[in-house]
Structure 1
């Protein structure tokens, strides 16, 4: 049975994400650090799926630090657009696109489709690799289903949150508190599953 590592590097410089992951792994007694603490450049994300990109990032961080690594990749898949923007979510409107640019393009592509034809899902793949050459990575995925609103709502969140409508809560993601969002989000689901998987692996 593999031993619990003392430190794990997160393949991200996002401090909010680091805090969230650190909280989930706290019961395991693991120190979590960001790859930016090691001045590591971001990996080239040229995978054809969320899982592939997450593994690219995790192995990149593990290779350059010598530590076990955790990474995730996520994005929006719209049913009527055959899964687009998918892995290109962050650069849907171009390589230097802002969140507003991406939302504008998405709303334009959907046009005046009725609500029944605006189904979508946020997807997240979260992975753990014990080393850069780990051939048995732990992989977990989470999905948050909803639909694309006809216009922006709310001032919170980021990315496509202002137009991602959750029918059960009757609000867009940008209108939810951080606690509400984490309880339902694709990322929250994926990382809770990853944390549970790691706890079982090291039990």
Structure 2
């Protein structure tokens, strides 16, 4: 069993290794596999990268995020500035144009709405907005259009899990109903749970993933 100190050291190394993280004052505390992240970053996108880095480490069971976004004084922007930047994205980004993505900005937080065909498109839109200066959070309410049979979705997810060199697919159960995928079972680490989620989202027609996988 890994010690809290080993987990902490690996998280710090993973954060340092991630090119999306520029901040150097991130702090990490670990107690019984529960991780608390604190310190400051330069953008919401960087904050997301720090959280993802921590979740990739073996032995992490939960993450508490207490990171603050600190912009230089000369880069402070208001909601109108953010809205104009998003409007510019809507003009040149093909995903924004094709799917008529809408955004509402309030106190630096952006709520996204619209419909796309795939989860990766939904995630890409969020990441584009998260990179914008002044954004302090993103609520991604974009939905995914269903376009495949339930049996086909379940088969594709099961095949993806079976192909994974890391996951023991026999320990994960997949249920599909009306585009919603429910995952159950046990894995050894949080990053394995994320791999199972990604496999589920990669199937066409998946509109929601309910992850009930336990980390043991």
Bigger share in strand: 2
- Greater C-alpha radius of gyration: 2
**Relative contact order higher in (CA < 8 Å, ≥ 6 apart):** 1
